[in-house]
Amino acid sequence: GSAFQKVLAQNGLTEDAYKDQIRTNKLVEYAVKEAAKKELTDENYQAAFANYTPEVTAQIIKLDSEDKAKEILEQAKAEGADFGQIAKDNSTDAATKEKGGEVKFDSGSTDVPDAVKKATFALEENGISDVITVRSSQNYSSSFYIVKLVKKSEKSSNWKDYKKQLKEVILTQKQNDASFIRSVVAKELKDANIKVKDAAFQNVFAQYIESETSDSSASASSSAASSSETSESSSAAESSSSSAAE
- Mean pLDDT for 226-244 is 47
Cα–chain center distance at 98: 30
Beta strands in the chain (DSSP E): 56-63, 102-105, 132-135, 142-152
Which pLDDT does position 136 carry in this prediction? Answer: 86
* Beta bridge partners of residue 144, listed in sequence order: 63, 133
What is the number of alpha carbons within 13 Å of residue 67 lying toward its C-beta?
Answer: 0
Positive or negative, the Cα torsion across 210, 216, 221, 222? positive
Cα–chain center distance at 107: 13
What mean pLDDT value characterizes the chain? Answer: 82
| pLDDT tens digits, one per residue of 180-194 | 988 888 887 777 665
- Mean pLDDT for 35-60 is 95
User: Number of H helices and number of E strands within the chain?
Assistant: 9, 4
Q: Pick the residue with more confidence: 127 or 221?
A: 127
Positive or negative, the Cα torsion across 80, 85, 87, 91? negative
- pTM recorded for the entire structure: 0.67
Question: How distant, in Å, are the alpha carbons of 12, 38, 41, 168 from that of 163?
Answer: 46, 15, 11, 9
Inter-residue contact 64 to 93 (CB < 8 Å)? no
| pLDDT tens digits, one per residue of 196-232 | 555 555 555 555 555 444 544 444 454 444 445 544 5
Which pLDDT does position 242 carry in this prediction? Answer: 46
| pLDDT tens digits, one per residue of 131-171 | 999 998 777 899 999 999 999 999 999 999 999 999 999 99
- Mean pLDDT for 121-129 is 97
